[in-house]
Amino acid sequence: MEVAIRWLKKLSLSQGDKVLLLNAVTGEWWWVEHNGHCGYVPANYLHGACEEEDSDVDDPWQDEEYYGSYKTLKLHLEMLSDQPRTQSYRNVIMQNSQALKGKRILDLGCGTGIISFFCAQLSEPEVVYAVEASDIVEQTRKLVEENGYSRVIQVLGQRAEELQLPTKVDVLVSEWMGTCLLFEFMLESVLLARDLWLKEDGVMWPSTARIHMVPCCADREYSSRVHFWDSPYGLNFSSLKPMAVQEFFSTPKPDYVLKPEDCLSQPCTLLDVNLKTIKIEALERMSSEFQFHVDCDGTFHGLTAWFSVQFQNIDSQEQVDLDTGPFNPLTHWKHTLFMLDQPMQVRTGDKIAGSAVFTRNPIWRRHLSVTITWSITSPSQNTEQNGCKVFPIWR
Ligand SMILES: N=C(N)NCC[C@H]1O[C@@H](n2cnc3c(N)ncnc32)[C@H](O)[C@@H]1O
């Protein structure tokens, strides 16, 4: 079977060949190795035993490693130190202080309990269920005791999936956002809890979530990793450049900081998710078209993505917006840079059109891949260039 995919690597296979599954990158394309060659193969062309270690496949959510990473203070310190993030939740609760009086609130994945404390401190809810599956929850219990909120905050040390509450709640608040919004797919747990425990007219905080993207110049990033090999110490190491592109740019850079002046056009909103209505199964694959009008000459190195979430006020049309993008104060999420293999020169008036497809990993349930397809049309240079690249996050 000759699998000659135009823009991806060619891999010659015959019926009955065995390949090693390296990465079920998307539901449609799997990255495999055959006789020392790697390439993408349509997933529906393959069947049979998975080469993965059985023990690995037993834990597709990698819960032990995942909750293990939240039992120490490192990640909680990072999240609490993130002022724009934490203050946004505090502002929402402050703005809705009256509306929250006497209400039942579920804080899902409460960590150290900061959001639950804001609810108990700034309003007078009937009860706040603070749910946390990692071992940090033992500390959270103590903090509630030591701060005198045991009457209001009930700490439940369990996974949302096992939750048993005496009644449904009026508000489901959670800080669930990961790299590129979706990584970790804690969102599935939030939606499960919504479907089981949120009243019909209940409120989701955040209420909506959006992924934004913009084409950008990333010269320092590209030069330091690829052009570096042109002449280190006067020697010609340029034959290493393809290996450098593969090694450094096959996955996105999750801690990139995009400067406004490196944007090549206005950003666009790729996804706009209503968290009250989206169905869990919709998370498997979400896609969006984009069209950027280049508004300055420059080198198009890649596309940078970030997310924003909106919190709808209970008694008014106002909303609080937490935007993690380059035009707002930096957050611990920073920005996610999808670097192309080959930079291209673009001019004002050029158009970069294409699509971004967010495909959840069918095996590793906290992971996804982003397939970006682009086409650049340049009236001034009378050229058209196009391409496609699949970025696993992280499997
Ligand atoms: N990207 C993030 N905001 N991660 C924060 C995740 C916090 O929620 C906790 N958490 C994540 N999923 C769950 C779940 N299904 N049930 C309970 N706690 C959870 C996790 O242990 C950590 O304290």
CATH number at residue 51: 2.30.30.40
Atom of ligand 1 nearest to the CA of 136: 23
Q: At which of 37, 56, 75 does a domain end? A: 56
- Give domain status of residue 197, yes or no: no
Pocket test for ligand 1, best of 61, 62, 69, 70 (most atoms within 8 A of CB): 70
Q: Which alpha helices (DSSP H) does 148-230 contain, by range?
A: 186-197, 219-225
For residue 183, is it within any domain? no
Catalytic (active site) residue 175: yes
Q: List pLDDT tens digits, range 292-333.
A: 999 999 999 999 999 999 999 999 999 999 999 999 999 999
Could you tell me if 290 and 213 are in contact, meaning their C-beta atoms sit under 8 angstroms apart? Answer: yes
378 three-state secondary structure: strand
**Residue 368 · residue 182 · CB < 8 Å:** yes
Is 349 within a domain?
Answer: yes
Q: Kindly name the residue from 184, 200, 318, 384 that is annotated as catalytic.
A: 184
Query: How many angstroms separate the alpha carbon of residue 120 from the centre of ligand 1?
Result: 20
375, 343 Cβ separation under 8 angstroms: no
76 inside domain = no
By residue count, the chain amounts to 395
Q: What's residue 4's pLDDT?
A: 40
Indicate which residue's Cα is closest to atom 1 of ligand 1.
Answer: 178
Kindly state if the Cβ of 263 falls inside 6 Å of ligand 1.
no
Where in the chain does DSSP place strands (E)? 2-3, 11-12, 20-23, 29-34, 37-42, 104-108, 127-131, 153-156, 169-174, 198-205, 208-216, 253-256, 268-274, 285-293, 298-312, 319-323, 335-346, 351-360, 368-378, 383-393
- The set of residues, in sequence order, having a beta carbon less than 8 Å from that of 182 and lying 6+ positions away, is 211, 283, 358, 360, 368
Q: Which long-range contacts (CB under 8 A, 24 or more apart) does 23-28 make?
A: 23/392, 23/395, 24/361, 24/362, 24/363, 24/364, 24/395, 25/361, 25/369, 25/390, 25/392, 26/357, 26/359, 26/361, 26/369, 26/371, 26/390, 27/284, 27/285, 27/359, 27/360, 27/362, 28/359
188 CA distance to ligand 1 middle (Å): 11
State the total domains in the chain.
3
What residues make up the domain containing 32? 2-56
Helix (H, G, I), strand (E, B) or coil at 255: strand
Q: Is 178 in the pocket of ligand 1 (CB under 6 A)?
A: yes
CA neighbor of 181 nearest in space, from 68, 288, 314: 288
Distance 203 CA to ligand 1 centre (A): 19
Is the domain of 104 the same as that of 151? yes
Domain membership of residue 67 (yes or no) is: no
Q: Which atom of ligand 1 is nearest to the CA of 175?
A: 3
For atom 19 of ligand 1, which residue has the closest CA? 109
pLDDT, position 363: 95
Q: Which ligand 1 atom minimizes the distance to the CA of 193?
A: 15
Which residue has its alpha carbon closest to ligand 1 atom 8? 109
Q: CA of 167: how far to CAs of 100, 104, 196, 210, in Å?
A: 17, 9, 10, 31
Nearest CA to ligand 1 atom 13: 109
* Same domain, yes or no: 21 and 148: no
Q: Ligand 1 centroid to 388 CA: how many Å?
A: 33
119 Cβ below 6 A of ligand 1: no
Looking at the structure, do residues 115 and 33 belong to the same domain, yes or no?
no
Which residue in the list 64, 65, 124, 175 is annotated as catalytic?
A: 175
**Both 111 and 243 in a single domain?**
no
Which residues of the chain fall short of a pLDDT of 70? Answer: 1-11, 20-28, 31-39, 47-57
Whole-number Å distance between alpha carbons of 51 and 59: 15
> Is ligand 1 within 6 A of the CB of residue 177?
yes
Q: What pLDDT, on the 0 to 100 scale, is given for residue 3? A: 46
Whether 268 and 341 share a structural domain: yes
Tell me, yes or no, whether 158 and 283 share the same domain.
Answer: no
Q: Buried (b) or exposed (e) across 237-254, using 16+ Cβ within 10 A?
A: eeeebeebbeeebebbbb
Ligand 1 atom 4, closest CA? 176
Q: What is the pLDDT of residue 52?
A: 46
CA distance 294 to 352: 7
Q: Is 188 a catalytic residue?
A: no
Q: Are residues 128 and 272 in the same domain?
A: no
Return the CATH number at 94: 3.40.50.150
Pocket test for ligand 1, best of 129, 186, 190 (most atoms within 8 A of CB): 186
Atom of ligand 1 nearest to the CA of 176: 3
| Spatial distance between the Cα atoms of 180 and 190, rounded to a whole number of angstroms | 17
Residue 189 inside a domain? The answer is no
Distance (angstroms) between ligand 1 centre and the Cα of 186 equals: 6
Residue whose Cα lies nearest atom 9 of ligand 1: it is: 109
pLDDT of residue 55: 47
